[in-house]
A and B are shown apart, each in its own frame.
Chain A
Amino acid sequence: MMHFLLLLSRQGKLRLQKWFTPVTEREKKKVIREMTLMVLACPPRSCNFLLWRDLKIVYKRYASLYFCCGLGDQDNELLTLEVLQRYVELLDQYFGNVCELDIIFNFEKAYFILDEFLVGGEILETSKTVVGIAMEEAETLQEVTHTHSHLSVTHLPKYLNMFLLFSQQTMEEYMSKPTY
């Protein structure tokens, strides 16, 4: 099983943390610190697998974000690279050309998507379509508590475009999306 999943920016800022085992706050901070040091220090073309304590660490860099997870002994490292790739594709499917700013300003959505994909450190759903539909339908249940019109954020699923463009969007465009 996956023990944790962290998203770290290139400057070492935490963008998402998911823990699948009970860990104290103090220990979490320690792990984050160590992961940041280890992963950010790796040279660009090195192996994506590291050994740390008794876990296998798999990390992958997507534009300005490092996706870093800790695996148990029996887990398949190569497949975990595919898991990380799948998560990024799910984010891309939801946000449309996802970039780090999306995840900063919509962190709760990133968590919701993750929860439709992984539970308890294991893969819950292997189909991108099903995850996309679940997110859309759950969105419709969200009650609107503000005066802005409800802009639909979900796009048609993008199967074909695997290549992720990390574009910069303006602040105004972000501010116009629905919010809490």
Chain B
Amino acid sequence: MPAPIRLRELIRTIRTARTQAEEREMIQKECAAIRSSFREEDNTYRCRNVAKLLYMHMLGYPAHFGQLECLKLIASQKFTDKRIGYLGAMLLLDERQDVHLLMTNCIKNDLNHSTQYVQGLALCTLGCMGSSEMCRDLAGEVEKLLKTSNSYLRKKAALCAVHVIRKVPELMEMFLPATKNLLSEKNHGVLHTSVVLLTEMCERSPDMLLHFRKLVPQLVRILKNLIMSGYSPEHDVSGISDPFLQVRILRLLRILGRSDDDSSEAMNDILAQVATNTETSKNVGNAILYETVLTIMDIKSESGLRVLAINILGRFLLNNDKNIRYVALTSLLKTVQTDHNAVQRHRSTIVDCLKDLDVSIKRRAMELSFALVNGNNIRGMMKELLYFLDSCDPEFKADCASGVFLAAEKYAPSKRWHIDTIMRVLTTAGSYVRDDSVPNLIQLITNSVEMHAYTVQRLYKALLDDISQQPLVQVSSWCIGEYGDLLVSGQCEEEEPIQVTEDEVLDVLEGLLVSNLSTPVTRGYSLTAIMKLSTRFSSVNRIKKVVSIYGSSIDVELQQRAVEYNALFKKYDHMRPALLERMPIMEKTASNGPTEIVQTNGETEPSVPDTKHPPLVTQPANQANDLLDLLGGNDVVPVIQTTLPTKPASAGGELLDLLGDLSLSGGPAPAPSVPVSQPPFLLDGLSSQPLFNDISAAIPPMTAYSKNGLKIEFTFERANPNPNIAVITIHATNTTEDDMTEFVFQAAVPKTFQLQLLSPSSNIVPALNHGSVTQVIRVLNPQKQQLRMRVKLTYTHKGSPVQDLAEVNNFPPQSWQ
């Protein structure tokens, strides 16, 4: 059998292959030769064959049949064999392989070998890829070698110990004694690896951290020597002595000083020294400065030092080197929460980075810019961010748009500005806006009541320009459907009102229905908008025609809507106005975003609701307490009476008017009460909730209380997103000849339930059943227990106060099952 070809010969041959197929053929031939050579148990050439196999493996070809051969090489006495064997093991024998454990014995023997380079091979292999079992078996050997005086072995043992600790953290304790005098080494390799080992131990165990805190002075001394010492050719990098060690020490100091005042104080001087003396002309100096800044920001440093650190970052931002600018932006992002004002000082530089050509820098600058937006700089920042949104790559647009919406919502100086900003985002990056933004925007628009005319006009004009961006089209068609009457009547105050006829509006909406650019969801929006206009416009016949056409649409969703709307025209025309009337102001639920009341910077909005708020909020608390006292029981949960989140937009109105908006408009069916409890889009729902699925009919109403002329009836429905919530509407009527004024209804439920009482429609129950007071109660009943309730009623009748308590137990089973 001729000798197998040499490694280099093989490499040269394979590189002459002109096609992939030719290469594969050569590889297959050689693999076959290697396989047969392995079968013959040829010791002489095993090394050569495995080396060739490793080369072919790097080209992407399978080499698993060489795994056992690697083991045999490791077990060989020859150094050349061992070297290739261990290399093969590291490349082919990771811990997922079955044969991995077979290495353990060989490694153990080699750890005790007489030649340090063999020991080194074993330590290196164990430290790069040893499995947990192997680490457990061999930790003792590693620990022994950690105490040797041979620096070549000691440094390798240290990193091997790091790997062992990463794999089997419980073994950390056993390395503790060996760490005793690691830092007194002069050898940089040992010093460096020791610092790594100490860092690993301190990161993983608070006890170790406490134990090693006493090393801070020693570390400071070593660092000082590195900086102050003269030129050392062996460790010099561009005039700096062993930057790798310096950075590692800084990192360890960071961990040790983190929440400890004394340690932080002990390192203040050296940090200041490093920060001011390090040469910054080359990357290596900046690498050290970067680590120093991170350390300063993380420990309990004095404020002067912190300012120094932020200034270094500020200088980094102006550096020509892109990497340094990137690193500065990343660090500023980390510190912006804690040192907000200091970072604000560099805002203009950061905003300039938005215009950088580099993608990584742009992304960081964008994230940082959003973090810096506040009430004072919102106008300026938004201008820059919108400009960025215009010109940035598509990969940024979605995130930027979401960021703009969030920032606008938190800090909008005025409603008009807010609407304008939203418009700008929709028109420039409309197709990248996230799907959940559409409902959020609609809610926002609804809540800015005096801007409705302006909003719908602008959206209409935007639609005329461009119907390709779906989120824009969806929001626009919803608004046109809702406020179309304002549009045609030309009522806009904020800008020049446009002249537009009903037919023109319907043309646009119908255009959306037929356009190829519209998605099915958009078509749904526009059909519903057209339908809503039937109560706002006079051209009802045209609308009827459109709706009936789509009754036979292929799109099931459109068809269903059209059929139901048709039915509205034909059989339920008397309900149509009530169903299609203006949407009430929507309650902001937690899922829709921040629940705080929108802050205005007091630009144009009167702050009426603020003064009205406090009394309403404190009252319920007192009343709840009273209820508790009265009932005395532990099984009763106090009621949390919610008030409407009063948007400043509904300015000038009395609180009652606000509640009036929410009031159930006296319609006969429970359906009108649904807008409050259902997800906001009854008529536009992306959910295909059929319009006439009268769930409430399934649960019969009941009389909860009837006494002294006051009758309270409960009607039920289930809140759709959560079947455990029962929504109860109370209707209070008065058969006596006098009004009941100052009427307050309170309720309490057992502990397993949660109850939410929304605001009542009014607090006067008119006499002789001339009207009713309605109020919505939401009950969460996760355990599906039988619903019980205690109610307390207070009102003034014929001049004297009346108070009554009652228990309601006759809930129909369907309301809580």
Q: Are B83 and A142 in contact (CB under 8 A)?
A: yes
Q: Is the CB of A124 within 8 A of B287?
A: no
- In the complex, whether A97 has a CB less than 8 A from a CB of chain B is no
Q: How many residues of A contact B (CB 8 A)?
A: 60
Contact of A119 among B44, B47, B128, B242 (CB under 8 A): B128
Asked if residues B247 and A79 are in contact (CB atoms below 8 Å), the reply is: yes
Contact A120 B244 (CB under 8 A): no
CB distance from B151 to the nearest CB of A (A): 9
Which of B233-241, B414-422, B783-791 forms part of the interface with chain A? Answer: B233-241
Within 8 A of A (CB), among B245-267: 245, 247-248, 251
Contact A111 B360 (CB under 8 A): no
- The answer to the question of A164 belonging to the interface, with a C-beta cut-off of 8 Å to chain B, is no
Q: Are A119 and B95 in contact (CB under 8 A)?
A: no
B396 at the interface (CB under 8 A from A): no
Does A130 count as interface, using CB distance less than 8 angstroms?
yes
Given A22-B94, A23-B94, A130-B189: A79 touches B244 (CB 8 Å cut-off):
yes
Is the beta-carbon distance between A79 and B243 smaller than 8 angstroms?
yes
A82 on the interface (CB 8 Å rule)?
Answer: yes
Find A111's partner among B87, B152, B166 (CB 8 Å cutoff): B87
Looking across the interface, which residue of chain B has its beta carbon closest to that of A60?
A: B323
Q: Could you tell me if A180 and B51 are in contact, using CB atoms closer than 8 angstroms?
A: yes
Given contacts A29-B60, A74-B251, A145-B44, contact A127 B324 (CB under 8 A): no
- What is the bound-complex CA distance between A138 and B284, given in angstroms? 31
Q: A126-B235, A180-B47 are in contact. Are A49 and B243 (CB under 8 A)?
A: no
Distance of B290 from chain A, by nearest CB (Å): 5
Of B155-163, B400-408, B535-543, the one contacting chain A is: B155-163
Choose one: B95, B155, B193, B326; the contact of A47 (CB below 8 Å).
B326
Contact of B233 with A159 in the complex, beta carbons under 8 Å: yes
B48/A180 in contact, CB under 8 A: yes
Q: Which B-chain residue is minimally distant from A106 (CB atoms)?
A: B8
- Name the B residues within 8 Å of A74 (CB-CB): 251
Indicate which residue in A78, A86, A137 contacts B324 across the interface (CB closer than 8 Å).
Answer: A78
Within 8 A of B (CB), among A133-147: 134, 137-138, 141-143, 145-146
Q: Which residue of A lies closest to B100 (CB)?
A: A22
B695 at the A interface (CB under 8 A): no
Q: Does B12 contact A (CB under 8 A)?
A: yes
Q: Confirm or deny: B96 has a beta carbon within 8 angstroms of a beta carbon on chain A.
A: yes
State whether A119 touches B124 (Cβ < 8 A).
yes
Docked pose: A178 CA to B283 CA in angstroms: 38
Cα A23 to Cα B237 with chains together (Å): 34
List the A residue with the shortest CB-CB distance to B254. Answer: A74
List, in ascending order, chain A residues with CB within 8 A of B51's CB.
108, 180
A82 pairs with B358, CB closer than 8 A: no
Digit string of A75-100 for contact with B (CB within 8 Å is 1, else 0)? 01111011100100000000000000
Is B79 in contact with chain A by the CB < 8 A criterion? yes
Q: Does B453 contact A (CB under 8 A)?
A: no
Complex-state Cα separation, A112 to B7, whole angstroms: 17
Is B290's CB under 8 angstroms from A128's CB? Answer: no
Task: List CB contacts (< 8 Å) of B221-238 with chain A.
Answer: 233-235, 237
Q: Is B152 touching A134 in the complex (CB atoms < 8 A)?
A: yes
Cross-chain contact A120 with B58 (CB below 8 angstroms): no
Asked if residues B117 and A127 are in contact (CB atoms below 8 Å), the reply is no
A47 and B322 within 8 A (CB): yes
For residue B314, give the distance in angstroms from its CB to the closest CB of chain A. Answer: 17
B11: interface (CB < 8 Å)? yes
CA–CA, A83 and B244, complex, Å: 8
Give the complex CA separation of A19 and B95 in angstroms. Answer: 12
Q: Is the interface of B mostly helix, strand, loop or mixed?
A: helix
Q: Quick one: given A76-B291, A108-B87, A180-B6, are A119 and B159 in contact (CB under 8 Å)?
A: yes
Smallest CB separation, B51 vs chain A (Å): 5
B7 touches A180 (CB 8 A): yes
Write out the residue numbers on chain A whose beta carbons fall within 8 Å of the beta carbon of B78: 143
B305 lies within 8 A of chain A by Cβ: no
- Across the interface, A49 reaches (CB within 8 A) one of B115, B123, B128, B360, namely B360
Residue pair B245, A126 in contact (C-beta under 8 Å): yes
B198 on the interface (CB 8 Å rule)?
A: no
A151 touches B (CB below 8 Å)? no
Cβ of B286 under 8 Å from chain A = yes
Cβ-defined contact, A47 with B290, below 8 A: no
Q: Are A81 and B323 in contact (CB under 8 A)?
A: yes
The reply to whether the CB of B196 lies closer than 8 angstroms to some CB of chain A is yes
Partner of B11, one of A13, A22, A105, A134: A105
B327 is an interface residue with CB less than 8 A from chain A: yes
- CB of B84 within 8 Å of the partner chain: yes
What chain A residues lie within 8 Å of B54 (beta carbons)? Answer: 107-108
Q: Quick check: is A37 within 8 A (CB to CB) of the other chain?
A: no
Asked if A165 lies at the interface with its beta carbon under 8 angstroms from chain B, I say: no
Q: Considering the chains assembled together, what is the distance between the CA atoms of A24 and B251 in angstroms?
A: 32
Q: Produce 1/0 per residue, A1-33, CB < 8 A to B.
A: 000000000000111110110111000010000
Q: Is B58 a contact of A17 with CB atoms below 8 Å? A: yes
What are 19 inter-chain pairs, A to B, with CB distance below 8 A? A19-B129, A24-B96, A77-B327, A78-B324, A82-B284, A104-B11, A108-B54, A111-B87, A112-B87, A120-B127, A120-B159, A123-B192, A125-B155, A127-B188, A134-B152, A141-B115, A143-B78, A145-B44, A177-B8
Q: A17-B58, A107-B54 are in contact. List 8 more A-B contacts (CB 8 A).
A: A22-B95, A47-B322, A82-B283, A105-B12, A107-B55, A115-B128, A119-B128, A122-B196
**A-side interface residues toward B, CB under 8 Å?**
13-17, 19-20, 22-24, 29, 45-51, 74, 76-79, 81-83, 86, 104-105, 107-108, 111-112, 115, 119-120, 122-130, 134, 137-138, 141-143, 145-146, 159, 171, 174-175, 177, 179-180
Sorted nearest first, the 3 A-B pairs with minimum C-beta distance are A78-B287, A79-B287, A141-B79
Q: What is B's interface to A at a CB cutoff of 8 Å? A: 6-8, 11-12, 15, 44, 47-48, 51-52, 54-55, 58-60, 78-80, 83-84, 87, 91, 94-96, 115, 117, 120, 123-124, 127-129, 131, 152, 155-156, 159-160, 162-163, 166, 188-189, 192-193, 196, 233-235, 237, 242-245, 247-248, 251, 283-284, 286-287, 290-291, 322-327, 357-361
